Amino acid sequence: MLINNDNNIKIDNCFIIHLDRALERKKQVNILKQKIPFKVSVISAVDGREANANILSMYKPNILRPKYPFKMRHAEIATFLSHRICWQKIIDDKLDGALIIEDDVSLDSSFFNFIINAALQEIKTGDFIRFPIGNYEKTKLPFRFKNSKALFTPDIIGLGMQAQIVTKDAAYDLLNATQFFDRPVDTYLQLKWIHQIQIFTVIPSGISEISNTLGGSLISKKKSIFDILFREVMRRIYRIKIYFLSKFIKK
Protein backbone atom coordinates (compact mmCIF):
# COMPACT_ATOMS: atom_id res chain seq x y z
CA MET A 1 0.00 0.00 0.00
CA LEU A 2 1.26 3.49 -0.87
CA ILE A 3 0.10 6.38 1.28
CA ASN A 4 1.14 10.00 0.87
CA ASN A 5 0.36 11.46 4.26
CA ASP A 6 0.84 15.05 3.02
CA ASN A 7 -1.71 14.65 0.25
CA ASN A 8 -3.83 11.90 1.83
CA ILE A 9 -3.51 9.61 -1.20
CA LYS A 10 -3.67 5.84 -0.83
CA ILE A 11 -2.79 3.47 -3.65
CA ASP A 12 -3.17 -0.26 -3.06
CA ASN A 13 -4.81 -1.52 -6.26
CA CYS A 14 -3.32 -2.84 -9.47
CA PHE A 15 -5.12 -3.56 -12.74
CA ILE A 16 -3.52 -5.99 -15.17
CA ILE A 17 -4.90 -5.62 -18.70
CA HIS A 18 -5.14 -9.07 -20.23
CA LEU A 19 -6.73 -10.31 -23.45
CA ASP A 20 -8.66 -13.46 -22.57
CA ARG A 21 -7.73 -15.34 -25.71
CA ALA A 22 -4.00 -14.70 -25.20
CA LEU A 23 -3.50 -18.02 -23.44
CA GLU A 24 0.30 -17.85 -23.69
CA ARG A 25 0.24 -14.77 -21.44
CA LYS A 26 -1.75 -16.27 -18.57
CA LYS A 27 1.41 -17.61 -16.92
CA GLN A 28 2.96 -14.13 -16.96
CA VAL A 29 -0.23 -12.67 -15.48
CA ASN A 30 0.07 -15.12 -12.58
CA ILE A 31 3.74 -14.19 -12.10
CA LEU A 32 2.83 -10.50 -11.96
CA LYS A 33 0.03 -11.19 -9.47
CA GLN A 34 2.56 -12.87 -7.17
CA LYS A 35 5.10 -10.04 -7.46
CA ILE A 36 2.78 -7.09 -7.01
CA PRO A 37 2.05 -6.37 -3.32
CA PHE A 38 -1.31 -4.73 -4.07
CA LYS A 39 -4.84 -5.96 -4.52
CA VAL A 40 -4.64 -7.19 -8.12
CA SER A 41 -7.56 -7.28 -10.53
CA VAL A 42 -7.23 -8.76 -14.00
CA ILE A 43 -9.10 -6.57 -16.48
CA SER A 44 -10.38 -8.29 -19.60
CA ALA A 45 -9.05 -6.32 -22.54
CA VAL A 46 -11.29 -5.29 -25.39
CA ASP A 47 -10.65 -7.65 -28.29
CA GLY A 48 -9.89 -5.91 -31.57
CA ARG A 49 -10.84 -9.04 -33.50
CA GLU A 50 -14.38 -8.69 -32.23
CA ALA A 51 -14.68 -5.00 -32.95
CA ASN A 52 -18.27 -4.03 -33.66
CA ALA A 53 -19.94 -0.74 -34.52
CA ASN A 54 -20.30 0.16 -30.85
CA ILE A 55 -16.60 -0.38 -30.18
CA LEU A 56 -15.49 1.46 -33.30
CA SER A 57 -17.86 4.40 -32.78
CA MET A 58 -15.49 6.18 -30.38
CA TYR A 59 -12.83 6.40 -33.07
CA LYS A 60 -13.20 9.70 -34.94
CA PRO A 61 -10.31 10.49 -37.33
CA ASN A 62 -8.80 13.95 -37.54
CA ILE A 63 -10.40 15.58 -34.52
CA LEU A 64 -7.13 16.82 -32.98
CA ARG A 65 -4.02 18.62 -34.21
CA PRO A 66 -1.45 17.79 -35.26
CA LYS A 67 -3.25 15.37 -37.51
CA TYR A 68 -2.39 11.75 -36.80
CA PRO A 69 -1.15 10.42 -40.17
CA PHE A 70 -2.42 6.83 -39.91
CA LYS A 71 -5.76 5.13 -39.65
CA MET A 72 -6.07 3.36 -36.32
CA ARG A 73 -6.14 -0.42 -36.47
CA HIS A 74 -8.87 -2.28 -34.61
CA ALA A 75 -6.29 -3.56 -32.12
CA GLU A 76 -5.18 0.02 -31.35
CA ILE A 77 -8.77 1.13 -30.80
CA ALA A 78 -9.28 -1.87 -28.52
CA THR A 79 -6.15 -1.02 -26.54
CA PHE A 80 -7.35 2.55 -26.00
CA LEU A 81 -10.73 1.28 -24.82
CA SER A 82 -9.06 -1.21 -22.47
CA HIS A 83 -7.21 1.59 -20.73
CA ARG A 84 -10.44 3.59 -20.52
CA ILE A 85 -12.01 0.62 -18.72
CA CYS A 86 -9.27 0.87 -16.10
CA TRP A 87 -9.71 4.62 -15.73
CA GLN A 88 -13.45 4.12 -15.31
CA LYS A 89 -12.87 1.43 -12.68
CA ILE A 90 -10.76 3.86 -10.64
CA ILE A 91 -13.75 6.21 -10.60
CA ASP A 92 -16.41 3.55 -10.07
CA ASP A 93 -14.51 1.91 -7.19
CA LYS A 94 -13.83 5.34 -5.63
CA LEU A 95 -10.08 4.74 -5.55
CA ASP A 96 -7.44 7.41 -5.07
CA GLY A 97 -5.61 5.82 -7.96
CA ALA A 98 -4.23 2.55 -9.24
CA LEU A 99 -1.25 0.96 -10.89
CA ILE A 100 -2.19 -0.15 -14.42
CA ILE A 101 0.05 -2.60 -16.26
CA GLU A 102 -0.16 -4.61 -19.44
CA ASP A 103 0.31 -8.35 -19.41
CA ASP A 104 3.49 -8.44 -21.51
CA VAL A 105 5.80 -6.81 -18.97
CA SER A 106 8.32 -8.12 -16.53
CA LEU A 107 9.40 -6.23 -13.44
CA ASP A 108 12.38 -6.54 -11.14
CA SER A 109 12.63 -6.02 -7.39
CA SER A 110 13.84 -2.42 -7.72
CA PHE A 111 10.60 -1.46 -9.48
CA PHE A 112 8.39 -1.44 -6.42
CA ASN A 113 11.16 -0.19 -4.16
CA PHE A 114 11.32 2.95 -6.25
CA ILE A 115 7.56 3.28 -6.64
CA ILE A 116 7.25 3.33 -2.87
CA ASN A 117 9.98 5.94 -2.42
CA ALA A 118 8.73 8.13 -5.24
CA ALA A 119 4.98 7.87 -4.78
CA LEU A 120 5.04 8.36 -1.01
CA GLN A 121 6.88 11.64 -1.32
CA GLU A 122 5.75 13.08 -4.63
CA ILE A 123 2.40 11.82 -5.90
CA LYS A 124 -0.51 14.24 -5.87
CA THR A 125 -4.06 13.88 -7.04
CA GLY A 126 -4.23 14.55 -10.75
CA ASP A 127 -0.84 12.96 -11.43
CA PHE A 128 -0.09 10.34 -14.05
CA ILE A 129 3.26 8.57 -13.51
CA ARG A 130 4.73 6.54 -16.37
CA PHE A 131 7.14 3.61 -16.05
CA PRO A 132 8.58 3.23 -19.57
CA ILE A 133 10.62 0.34 -20.91
CA GLY A 134 13.35 2.62 -22.29
CA ASN A 135 15.43 5.59 -21.14
CA TYR A 136 14.53 7.88 -24.03
CA GLU A 137 12.71 10.72 -22.32
CA LYS A 138 14.71 13.80 -21.40
CA THR A 139 14.29 16.90 -19.28
CA LYS A 140 16.56 19.68 -18.15
CA LEU A 141 15.32 19.70 -14.58
CA PRO A 142 14.40 16.36 -13.01
CA PHE A 143 12.62 17.28 -9.79
CA ARG A 144 13.82 14.26 -7.87
CA PHE A 145 16.94 12.13 -7.85
CA LYS A 146 17.75 9.17 -5.63
CA ASN A 147 20.22 6.33 -6.09
CA SER A 148 20.64 7.09 -9.83
CA LYS A 149 16.88 7.01 -10.42
CA ALA A 150 14.80 10.02 -11.49
CA LEU A 151 11.16 11.05 -11.35
CA PHE A 152 10.63 13.99 -13.67
CA THR A 153 8.41 15.84 -16.10
CA PRO A 154 9.58 14.89 -19.61
CA ASP A 155 10.02 17.50 -22.33
CA ILE A 156 8.44 15.09 -24.78
CA ILE A 157 6.29 12.30 -23.37
CA GLY A 158 7.46 8.92 -24.58
CA LEU A 159 5.41 6.15 -26.13
CA GLY A 160 4.24 2.92 -24.53
CA MET A 161 1.61 2.10 -21.90
CA GLN A 162 3.31 -0.84 -20.22
CA ALA A 163 2.96 0.50 -16.66
CA GLN A 164 1.63 3.66 -15.03
CA ILE A 165 0.09 5.00 -11.86
CA VAL A 166 -3.10 6.93 -12.61
CA THR A 167 -4.72 9.00 -9.87
CA LYS A 168 -8.48 9.51 -9.75
CA ASP A 169 -8.46 13.10 -11.01
CA ALA A 170 -6.25 12.12 -13.94
CA ALA A 171 -8.58 9.21 -14.68
CA TYR A 172 -11.63 11.48 -14.55
CA ASP A 173 -10.06 14.09 -16.85
CA LEU A 174 -8.85 11.46 -19.32
CA LEU A 175 -12.28 9.84 -19.50
CA ASN A 176 -13.93 13.18 -20.20
CA ALA A 177 -11.34 14.13 -22.81
CA THR A 178 -11.37 10.83 -24.71
CA GLN A 179 -15.05 10.12 -25.27
CA PHE A 180 -13.86 10.24 -28.88
CA PHE A 181 -10.27 9.78 -29.99
CA ASP A 182 -8.28 9.77 -33.23
CA ARG A 183 -4.95 8.17 -32.32
CA PRO A 184 -3.48 5.44 -30.07
CA VAL A 185 -3.62 6.03 -26.34
CA ASP A 186 0.13 6.58 -25.83
CA THR A 187 0.24 8.97 -28.78
CA TYR A 188 -2.70 10.87 -27.32
CA LEU A 189 -0.90 11.31 -24.01
CA GLN A 190 1.88 13.14 -25.84
CA LEU A 191 -0.58 15.99 -26.48
CA LYS A 192 0.01 17.55 -23.08
CA TRP A 193 -1.12 21.00 -24.27
CA ILE A 194 -4.54 19.48 -25.02
CA HIS A 195 -5.31 17.12 -22.14
CA GLN A 196 -3.51 19.21 -19.45
CA ILE A 197 -2.71 16.10 -17.35
CA GLN A 198 0.39 16.32 -15.15
CA ILE A 199 2.51 13.46 -16.49
CA PHE A 200 5.75 12.29 -14.89
CA THR A 201 8.24 9.63 -15.93
CA VAL A 202 10.35 7.26 -13.83
CA ILE A 203 13.78 6.31 -15.23
CA PRO A 204 15.03 3.67 -14.88
CA SER A 205 11.69 2.05 -14.20
CA GLY A 206 12.51 -1.60 -13.57
CA ILE A 207 10.09 -2.49 -16.38
CA SER A 208 10.90 -4.56 -19.44
CA GLU A 209 8.68 -5.77 -22.25
CA ILE A 210 8.68 -9.50 -23.01
CA SER A 211 5.99 -9.76 -25.69
CA ASN A 212 8.41 -11.60 -28.00
CA THR A 213 8.55 -14.47 -25.53
CA LEU A 214 4.76 -14.48 -25.15
CA GLY A 215 3.72 -14.97 -28.73
CA GLY A 216 4.59 -11.50 -30.04
CA SER A 217 2.68 -8.24 -30.18
CA LEU A 218 -1.11 -8.38 -30.28
CA ILE A 219 -1.29 -5.01 -32.07
CA SER A 220 1.24 -5.03 -34.91
CA LYS A 221 0.69 -6.87 -38.16
CA LYS A 222 2.82 -7.75 -41.17
CA LYS A 223 3.31 -4.82 -43.59
CA SER A 224 4.51 -4.46 -47.16
CA ILE A 225 7.82 -2.74 -47.93
CA PHE A 226 5.92 0.21 -49.40
CA ASP A 227 3.78 0.50 -46.29
CA ILE A 228 6.85 0.34 -44.06
CA LEU A 229 8.58 3.13 -46.01
CA PHE A 230 5.45 5.27 -46.14
CA ARG A 231 4.80 4.90 -42.43
CA GLU A 232 8.41 5.70 -41.59
CA VAL A 233 8.34 8.95 -43.56
CA MET A 234 4.98 10.01 -42.12
CA ARG A 235 6.06 9.00 -38.63
CA ARG A 236 9.16 11.20 -38.84
CA ILE A 237 7.11 14.18 -40.00
CA TYR A 238 4.62 13.63 -37.20
CA ARG A 239 7.40 13.33 -34.60
CA ILE A 240 8.86 16.65 -35.73
CA LYS A 241 5.48 18.30 -35.18
CA ILE A 242 5.16 16.74 -31.73
CA TYR A 243 8.70 17.87 -30.87
CA PHE A 244 8.07 21.52 -31.68
CA LEU A 245 4.62 21.63 -30.10
CA SER A 246 5.95 19.96 -26.94
CA LYS A 247 8.80 22.44 -26.75
CA PHE A 248 6.98 25.66 -27.47
CA ILE A 249 3.37 25.27 -26.37
CA LYS A 250 2.99 25.61 -22.61
CA LYS A 251 0.27 23.88 -20.66
Tens digit of pLDDT for each residue in 181-207?
A: 999 999 999 999 999 999 999 888 888
Comparing C-alpha atoms, which of 230, 216, 189 is closest to residue 83?
189
Classify each residue of 80-113 as buried b or exposed e, where b means 16 or more C-beta atoms within 10 Å of its C-beta. bbbbbbbbebbeeeebbbbbbbbbbbbbeeebbe
What are the structural domains, with CATH classification, of the chain? 2-248 (3.90.550)
Q: Can you name the residues that pair with 144 across neighbouring β-strands?
A: 151
Whole-number pLDDT of residue 51: 78
Pair 209, 104: CB distance under 8 Å: yes
How far apart, in whole angstroms, are the C-alpha atoms of residue 19 and residue 184? 17
Whole-number pLDDT of residue 100: 97
Residue 27: partners with Cβ closer than 8 Å, 6 or more residues away: none
pTM of the model: 0.91
135 pLDDT band, cuts 50/70/90, is confident
- Tell me what the mean pLDDT of segment 232-251 comes to: 89
Report the SS3 class of residue 235. helix
202-220 pLDDT tens trace: 888 888 888 777 655 555 5
